[in-house]
């Protein structure tokens, strides 16, 4: 992944951090652990009403999010999946096989005491860290669906998922934060890495057209240029002077769009789009990158 960056002495998120640095496997595991521990600490600081507050994820409370994070980490171990069958008729937000997979571990933990759920998460963090520390350098691990994945890639995906859920918790309880941590920077890198698919496949941009994305409030700005081949494949490219579309937005709005946490019409007034009007609308509508 190649990023063209302007990062310097500024008040934006990530000021003073090397946003272009891709952490190695050891660093990535450290960042993953720190992020999960931050979520456990945040959850432990909540009162009863905040613990049960509705989150931006349909049908899930803050407690459900913590249960989900725990369950997904357990799915990466050799433990069998929970032998639990939810009352699907009472869960109208569940509409796909992925939803059903993730709901089992969440529903299993509903109604359990806050301290018990958080305690299980802390136990799982320690267990997973011990397992990761002894994996050989060339080892792969199984994704929650059983597909073998490179360890570093999987841990970067786990950082993204966990950090986005941290933002879900913070949004639910009105406690913003976490935007200038290493986990936030890894997530931003993952969003940038997802832009070729957004531009070339999801927006179906024409061959040779370039998307220029500016995340305006990270340091002095993070920029990326993406070119489409017209057949659903894109790649990060060198800067060009005449991109088809330039999208300028904040990290917060990028997260809302990329994680599917807000409709386009909510975010549209806050972003700046320059270039082809038709492609402007297409790229915004195509920005969701996570399930």
pLDDT value of position 241: 94
Instruction: Enumerate the domain spans of the chain.
Output: 25-176, 187-285
Mean pLDDT of 99-128: 97
Instruction: Find out whether 48 and 56 touch, Cβ atoms under 8 Å.
Output: no
Task: Tell me the three state secondary structure of residue 262.
Answer: coil
Cα–Cα distance list, 142 to 67, 72, 138, 235, 240 (Å)? 20, 12, 14, 27, 39
High-pLDDT (> 90) share of the chain, %: 84
Count the neighbouring beta carbons within 10 Å of the beta carbon of residue 90.
Answer: 9
Q: Is beta strand 210-215 parallel, antiparallel or unpaired with respect to 148-150?
A: unpaired
Fold of 25-176: 1.20.120
Structure tokens at 270: 């806050």
Kindly indicate the confidence band of residue 14, based on its pLDDT and cuts at 50, 70 and 90. low
pLDDT value for 13: 60
In terms of Cα–Cα distance, which of 66, 74, 197 is closest to 142?
Answer: 74
pTM: 0.93
Please check the confidence at residue 104 and state whether its pLDDT lies above 60: yes
pLDDT for residue 17: 59
Q: How far is CA 26 from the centre of its chain?
A: 20
**pLDDT-based confidence at residue 276 (cuts at 50, 70, 90):** very high
Q: CATH number for the 187-285 domain, one of 3.40.50.300, 3.40.630.30, 3.30.1050.10, 3.40.50.720?
A: 3.30.1050.10
Using the predicted structure, report yes or no on whether residue 2 has a pLDDT greater than 90. Answer: no
């Amino acid at each position: 992944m190649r990023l063209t960056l302007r990062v310097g002495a500024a008040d934006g998120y990530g000021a003073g951090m090397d946003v272009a640095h891709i952490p190695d496997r050891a660093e990535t595991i450290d960042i993953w652990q720190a992020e999960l521990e931050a979520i456990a600490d945040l959850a432990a600081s909540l009162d009863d009403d905040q613990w049960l507050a509705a989150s931006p994820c349909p049908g899930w409370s803050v407690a459900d999010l913590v249960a989900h994070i725990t369950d997904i980490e357990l799915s990466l171990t050799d433990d069998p999946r929970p032998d639990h069958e939810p009352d699907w008729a009472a869960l109208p937000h569940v509409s796909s096989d992925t939803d059903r997979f993730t709901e089992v571990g969440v529903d299993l933990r509903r109604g359990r005491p806050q301290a018990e759920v958080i305690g299980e998460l802390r136990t799982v963090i320690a267990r997973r860290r011990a397992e990761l520390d002894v994996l050989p350098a060339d080892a792969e691990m199984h994704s929650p669906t059983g597909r073998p994945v490179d360890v570093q890639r999987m841990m970067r995906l786990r950082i993204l998922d966990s950090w986005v859920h941290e933002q879900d918790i913070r949004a639910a309880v009105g406690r913003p934060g976490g935007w200038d941590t290493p986990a936030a920077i890894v997530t931003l890198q993952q969003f940038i890495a997802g832009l070729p698919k957004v531009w070339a496949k999801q927006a179906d941009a024409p061959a040779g057209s370039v998307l220029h994305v500016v995340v305006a409030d990270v340091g002095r700005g993070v920029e990326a240029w993406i070119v489409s081949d017209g057949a659903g494949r894109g790649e990060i490219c060198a800067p060009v002077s005449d991109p088809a579309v330039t999208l300028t937005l904040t990290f917060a709005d990028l997260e809302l769009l990329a994680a599917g946490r807000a409709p386009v019409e909510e975010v549209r007034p806050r972003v700046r789009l320059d270039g082809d009007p038709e492609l402007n609308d297409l790229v915004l509508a195509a920005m969701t990158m996570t399930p």
